[in-house]
Amino acid sequence: MNDLPAHIGIWGELADTDHELRHLDVAGVRTRVLRAGRSGPDLVLLHGTGGHLEAYARDLAGLAEHFRVTAYDMVGHGWSDLPDRPYTVDVLSDHLLGLLDALGIGAAHLSGESLGGWVAAWTAAHHPDRVRRLVLNTPGNIANKPEVMLRLRESTLAAVRNPDDATVRRRVAFLFHHTEMVTDELVNLRRAVYSRPGFLQAITNTLVLQDPEIRKDFAWDPSWVGRITAPTLLLWTDHDPTGGLDEAELLRDWLPSARLHVITDAGHWPQWEKPEEFLRVHRAFLLGEDDTAEDGEAP
């Protein structure tokens, strides 16, 4: 009888998958990068606010069967450099483009979660030649609700200012519908990131995007979202604390050809809570296996 749990550890997920973890110089920013998969189209994964590439630990092996996968710590995040400047969406997008250049990737599929989805969408709108297909995974607060911004800012700052187990566990649990899936390993990884010298200033530089005055220059808006030409999948859940299905429909008004897929029984991190469905939907959409579906329909 096999009584092993479905998830035995972050690096256990990659135990049988060839991969490389290193730091690259991206326009002067030492950037932590993980790559897996030897063939297939390039796929770049972007994490959310205060996150790191391990957000995709449960998906890397499955995606590497079909794609050349790159996951990385965005500037000011994880174990990448923490230059002291505001990390607005254009800055994060420029860092992504620099990473593509450093890796010799002309154009790639992008799949971004939360803040990563915002950065991926901005990149697709402003640099359409660099994006093949686009997945916006629980991109969060499309409607720019002040109460959502305040909650994210306060919970994140609390965890970084006092990165003890209880405070950081609450911040990580915010991402999950099934909070019993929050592991000690994941909490301690976040605690290590949040305890880095200079990280309080770095997260302050990230959270400028939760300031309505600064956010207005980058806020989700049809004026730039409507410029996205890449085939787009909106990947939503039914328990996302940052935005409901009404916000998915708002994006569909701005991107009428986008497809919507809703993962049920999951929160802000469907890639962790529902990895099998997350992988299936990515494979179908990014490989064009569902191109016979009508526009606006889920694969």
Q: What is the model's pLDDT at position 279?
A: 98
Integer angstrom CA distances of residue 63 from 31, 125, 262: 22, 25, 20
pLDDT in tens, 80-94: 999 999 999 999 999
What gap in Å lies between CA 271 and CA 111, rounded to an integer?
A: 11
State the CATH architecture for 11-286: 3-Layer(aba) Sandwich (3.40)
Residue that wins the pLDDT comparison between 6 and 27: 27
Could you give the count of Cα atoms lying within 13 Å of 279 in the half-sphere of its Cβ? Answer: 18
| pLDDT at residue number 2 | 73
Q: What is the pLDDT of residue 51?
A: 96
* Residue carrying the six token digits 């911004």: 149
What is the crossing angle of helices 146-161 and 165-173, to 10°? 150
DSSP state of 90: H
Give residue 1's pLDDT.
55
152: Cα within 13 Å, side-chain hemisphere: 28
Indicate the average pLDDT of the chain.
94
pLDDT in tens, 256-267: 999 999 999 999
Nearest-angstrom CA–CA distance, 112 and 116: 4
Distance CA 131, CA 96 (A): 11
Looking at the chain, the whole-number percentage of residues with pLDDT higher than 70 is 97
pLDDT in tens, 154-163: 999 999 999 9
Rounded distance between C-alpha atoms, residue 92 and residue 87, angstroms: 6
Read off the amino acid at residue 36. Answer: A
Quote the CA–CA distance of 81 and 201 in Å, as a whole number.
Answer: 12
Could you tell me whether strands 42-46 and 108-113 are parallel, antiparallel, or unpaired per DSSP bridges? parallel
Average pLDDT over residues 56-65: 97
What the block records as the tokens of 291 is: 């191109």
Within 8 A by CB and 6+ apart from 69, the residues are: 35, 36, 37, 43, 44, 45, 60, 63
Domain range summary for the chain, segments of one domain joined by +: 11-286
Strand 131-137 relative to strand 232-237, pairing: parallel
Residue 65 structure tokens = 């069967």
Tell me which of 212 and 1 has the higher pLDDT.
212
Indicate the pLDDT class of residue 122, thresholds 50, 70 and 90. very high
Tens-place pLDDT, residues 216-251 = 999 999 999 999 999 999 999 999 999 889 999 999
Token pair belonging to 60? 């890397």
- Residue 287 one-letter amino acid: L
For residue 3, name the pLDDT band (cuts at 50, 70, 90): confident
The confidence score (pLDDT) of residue 296 equals 42
